[in-house]
Amino acid sequence: MGDPTKHNPEDLFLSAISSCHMLWYLHFCATSGIHVVRYEDQPIGIITEEQSGAGQFTKITLYLTMRIRRAKQVNLAKEWHTKANEFCFIAKSLHIPIHHQPIVMVME
C-alpha cells in the first residue's frame, strides 16, 4: 500500500537474499572454472497476512537466469545453486526454505 516507485522493507529483504545467493553462487562457479557471462534473478516472495494485520513470508523463490560459456558445465552450474543456498547466511537464518528455479543457457 506504499509508493510503488520506492523500495520497501519486503523488497530489500528479497534483495538481500538474492544478493547473498548470487555472491556465493558466483564464487562456486569461479572456483570450479565456470565462466558466468550473465546472471539475473527475479526473486518472488509470498507473504501471508493474518487478520490482525501481522504477516510473514511463507514462500520465497529465486527465478534465476544465467549464461555460461561451456555446454558441458550446464548441470554443474545448476547444482551450485543448492550449495550457494547452504552457504548463504541469510537463507540459513530463515525458517522457510528458499526455492530455486534456475535456467542456464550457453553463450554461443
Above 70 in pLDDT, residue 92?
Answer: yes
Q: Distances in Å between the alpha carbon of 37 and those of 32, 62, 65?
A: 15, 19, 11
Q: What is the mean pLDDT of residues 19-34?
A: 98
Above 80 in pLDDT, residue 108?
Answer: no
For 57-82, what is each residue's pLDDT tens digit? 999 999 999 999 999 999 999 999 99
C-alpha cell at 17: 537474499
Sequence-separated contacts (24+) of 104-108 with Cβ below 8 Å:
104/66, 104/67, 104/68, 104/74, 104/77, 104/78, 105/65, 105/66, 105/67, 105/68, 106/67, 106/68, 106/69, 106/70, 106/71, 106/74, 107/37, 107/38, 107/67, 107/68, 107/69
Q: Which of 71, 57, 62 is nearest to 43 (CA)?
A: 62
